[in-house]
Amino acid sequence: MATHHLTVSASDPPLLAVLKGERRDPPPVWLMRQAGRYLPEYRALRAEKGGFLELVYDSDAAAEITIQPLRRFGMDGAILFSDILIVPHAMGLGLTFGPGEGPQLSPALHDADFSGLTPNPAHFAKIYETVAKVRAAIDPKVTMLGFAGSPWTIATYMVAGHGSKDQAETRRLAYRDPGAFQALIDRIVDVTVDYLSGQIEAGAQAIQLFDSWAGTLSPAQFERWVIAPNAAITGKLMVRHPDVPVIGFPKGAGAKLAAYARETGVDAVGLDETIDPAWAAATLPEGMPVQGNLDPLVLIAGGDALADAVRRIRITLADRPHVFNLGHGIQQDTPIAHVEQLFDLLRQPL
């Protein structure tokens, strides 16, 4: 995989500089799912506007939600308020978010008939509007982050019609008919590249690829369905937008993260909470920025447990470009006071 050489500019905000390979202390910080249900101001807006998807496709509301945590905590990154399943929605599948249940896609593609998938690029227009509105509104010291789901994770929802613990249905299909499954993955890659490119053109300064269900695959399947498609996306984005860093986050990858970091061409990798930062510091390519990896549950605990965990992560990753983040998304029952404690801790030198 070609190495992506990114140059830090004096005008780059701190988070962007670190994603391009510069070390900063204290480290810049943003939190996965920082815009959302743990914030009373989010819950108030959702109650006023209706359902989750209505918020995502209302660019004024989505921009407001993206900015809410910045006002409260002063993050270094603004992550687009949206959802990874906007891509299959744009490919013609029905998408619903029922009360108290996860997202549902219909029809589920159990039978490997992907002929009805017809991407509609116009579907993304409201998302691009959100990116542009946020970028125009935020302080230039804050980095605007766009994102998409990685093809394997998107495919698991498309095949099963919903999330699952072990992705068995999709894994069976990938073994039974790898040619058909490859065709689906390739189609997701093409739509995702265009979607991320549109986000960048609208103002996103860095991109994150979320592979939330990467953890259930065998090494050979991980190579084919996680590493290869993410490498394809990264390579195509690098040609179109050579100055925009890509963060890869294959949750649950474990030791396979080393191959992912070497082979996908991503500029930075996210560490989930199960990865030992000392292992990452010793094993990942030299100088590669890492992001993470505070356990979202220790943020809920707060107090000394939180202080100890933050310090341990910062010390262990002190010799590497490091973006402080959670190991996965912030939980909706996280106390606001503990997020405030986290930011107080992070603003102190080690």
Of 24, 46, 72, 187, the catalytic one is 46
Q: Which residue has the tokens 């999330």?
A: 163
CB neighbour list of residue 77: distance below 8 Å, 6 or more residues apart: 15, 28, 29, 30, 142, 143, 144, 145, 206, 323
Q: Residue 129 is encoded by which pair of tokens?
A: 């509007």
Going through the chain in order, the beta strands assigned E by DSSP cover 77-79, 94-97, 103-106, 143-149, 206-211, 246-250, 268-270, 290-294, 322-326
Of 12, 33, 128, 135, the catalytic one is 33
The answer to whether 192 and 200 have CB atoms below 8 angstroms apart is: no
CA angle, residues 279, 281, 283, in degrees to nearest 5: 60
User: Cis bond leading into 26, ω under 30°?
Assistant: yes
Of 42, 128, 157, 260, the catalytic one is 157
The answer to whether 311 and 350 have CB atoms below 8 angstroms apart is: yes
Distance CA 75, CA 29 (A): 6
Distance CA 130, CA 61 (A): 8
Of 12, 58, 76, 83, the catalytic one is 83
The answer to whether 272 and 328 have CB atoms below 8 angstroms apart is: yes
The answer to whether 250 and 233 have CB atoms below 8 angstroms apart is: no
Of 37, 72, 187, 262, the catalytic one is 37
Distance CA 98, CA 52 (A): 9
> Would residue 83 show up in a list of annotated catalytic residues for this protein?
yes
> Would residue 46 show up in a list of annotated catalytic residues for this protein?
yes
CA angle, residues 64, 65, 69, in degrees to nearest 5: 105
Q: Which residue has the tokens 């294959």?
A: 250
Phi, psi of 143 (to 5 degrees): -90, 130
> Would residue 347 show up in a list of annotated catalytic residues for this protein?
no
CA angle, residues 249, 255, 259, in degrees to nearest 5: 70
Catalytic positions = 33, 37, 46, 83, 157
